[in-house]
Amino acid sequence: MTSSLNSKNDLEEIAKAYDWDVKQCTIEKIESGHINDSYRLRITFDTSKSKRSESYFLQKINTAIFKHTDAVMSNIKKACSVITSINDSSFDSLTIVPTKNGSSYFTTSQGTCYRIFNFLEGYRSISQHASSHIVRKVGSTFGRFIAALANENADDYKTTLPDFHNINTRHHNLQKSQKLASSKRLEAAEDLFEIISLLGDKCIDIQQLLDENLLPIRICHNDTKASNIMYNMSQQSYCVVDLDTVMPSSLLFDFGDAIRSIISESAEDEIRRINESLQWNLVSAFSDGFISATKHLLTDVERNNLANSCILLPYIMGVRFLTDYLNEDVYFSISYEQQNLNRARNQLELARQISDELPTLESIIEKALTN
């Protein structure tokens, strides 16, 4: 089956690059993320005596977003080699499967980039109704990831998406889109601009600290949705995945981004229920896990801004989703017309609610810091 790859020839070219027989290869689409296309690639070895198959995780890299594939793959390779060298089965690493020429990715004759990782057989990612136990592990795994990379020289890693979490840049992009947007989309989004003007000023502090060099630059993940930890219950193994955004950044973004993904009962594109309560038990579990793994690294400025980051990250995502909605959905893939608007509404309301309930969050973080 080749129909869901870019072209019919892609699978043939991929098989050749990795030295496999295309007749033995089949692919299945895996729904994950808004940016790259992912597949399970299965190679079946069928002899008269036995039949067995091997699976790989194949991804078509979205090069409109990740323009410097070499730099992205170089960051991933470095991070994976550090995690692998820790050699702890509870803290697993992705492994890049090289082409027969030893390259970490492959470009087809049409210019499409693909890469292959080991397939995490028997692993799953967290569901919307995860237990505190798993969420704590998700926290400690993201924390361990940052701690493991703490001795890396940040200059060896490339900034593949400049200003990725820079709220000033995100505001600027929103203003540009507002000028070009259709009146229909502007009208549909009208109420969201109120939340943006209400919260905007509160959200610039962390960028200011970065601009003033008051926050340490670390190698971070930069896309710490809880679903980016895959785990295997029977082996008690946890693995950080989706490594495209690994680059020099602030740990605060990783903390806030993860909290935004676990604090809410509703999915990212759902309309939040009025009076939907925040999942403080999960926030507490995540904070305990993350902070216990990173406490030895944290500076005072980082400690003092962990709570603020939990307003900033859903706010940034709200601004980004709204910008994309106004741009007619050119960045995040959508499965229905209003999806980016719904995502923006969900995230901005979440930011507002977290801001209203900040003292609860602060006391949870304080407790995790003093444990």
**Binding footprint of ligand GN1 on the chain (CB under 6 A):** 33-35, 65, 223, 225, 242, 245, 268, 317
Nearest to 14 by CA among 119, 121, 97, 118: 97
Q: Which is nearer to ligand GN1, 35 or 130 (CB)?
A: 35
Angstrom distance (rounded) from CA 139 to CA 243: 16
Distances in Å between the Cα of 258 and the Cα atoms of 107, 236, 253 are 33, 21, 8
Binder of residue 268, out of ligand GN1, Mg ion, none (CB less than 5 to 8 A by kind)? ligand GN1
Interface mask toward Mg ion for 207-226; x: CB under 5 A: ----------------x---
Per-residue DSSP letters for 102-156? S-SSEE-TTS-EEEEEE--TT-EE--TT--HHHHHHHHHHHHHHHHHTTTS-GGG
- Beta-sheet strand order (sheet of 106-107): 25-30, 37-46, 51-60, 113-118, 106-107
- Please tell me whether residue 239 adopts helix, strand or coil conformation: strand
CB of 331 to ligand GN1, least distance (A): 7
Tokens 């203003």 locate to 175
CB of 292 to ligand GN1, least distance (A): 24
CB of 317 to ligand GN1, least distance (A): 6
Q: Are strands 237-240 and 91-92 parallel, antiparallel or unpaired?
A: parallel
Query: For residue 25, what is the enclosing H or E element?
Result: strand 25-30
Binder of residue 248, out of Mg ion, ligand GN1, none (CB less than 5 to 8 A by kind)? none
**How many of the other CB atoms lie within 10 Å of CB of 150?**
15
- Please tell me whether residue 40 adopts helix, strand or coil conformation: strand
Q: Which is nearer to ligand GN1, 13 or 242 (CB)?
A: 242
Identify residues 236-275 at the interface with Mg ion (CB under 5 A): 242
Binder of residue 96, out of ligand GN1, Mg ion, none (CB less than 5 to 8 A by kind)? none
Q: Which is nearer to ligand GN1, 25 or 61 (CB)?
A: 61
Angstrom distance (rounded) from CA 371 to CA 367: 6
Q: Are strands 25-30 and 51-60 parallel, antiparallel or unpaired?
A: unpaired
CA angle, corner 215, sides to 67 and 298, nearest 5? 110
**How many of the other CB atoms lie within 10 Å of CB of 156?**
11
Binder of residue 165, out of ligand GN1, Mg ion, none (CB less than 5 to 8 A by kind)? none
Q: Which is nearer to ligand GN1, 25 or 243 (CB)?
A: 243
Distances in Å between the Cα of 265 and the Cα atoms of 6, 76, 363 are 36, 31, 21
Q: Which is nearer to Mg ion, 207 or 222 (CB)?
A: 222
CB of 30 to ligand GN1, least distance (A): 13
Binder of residue 34, out of Mg ion, ligand GN1, none (CB less than 5 to 8 A by kind)? ligand GN1
CB of 33 to ligand GN1, least distance (A): 3
Q: Which is nearer to ligand GN1, 11 or 246 (CB)?
A: 246
CB of 227 to ligand GN1, least distance (A): 8
CB of 244 to Mg ion, least distance (A): 6
CB of 367 to ligand GN1, least distance (A): 27
Q: Which is nearer to Mg ion, 7 or 62 (CB)?
A: 62
Q: Which is nearer to ligand GN1, 104 or 224 (CB)?
A: 224
Distances in Å between the Cα of 69 and the Cα atoms of 76, 96, 125, 174, 278 are 11, 14, 26, 26, 38
Angstrom distance (rounded) from CA 204 to CA 210: 10
CB of 366 to ligand GN1, least distance (A): 27
Taking CB positions, which residue lies at the least distance from ligand GN1?
Answer: 33
Q: Which is nearer to ligand GN1, 10 or 242 (CB)?
A: 242
Contact set with Mg ion (CB under 5 A): 223, 242
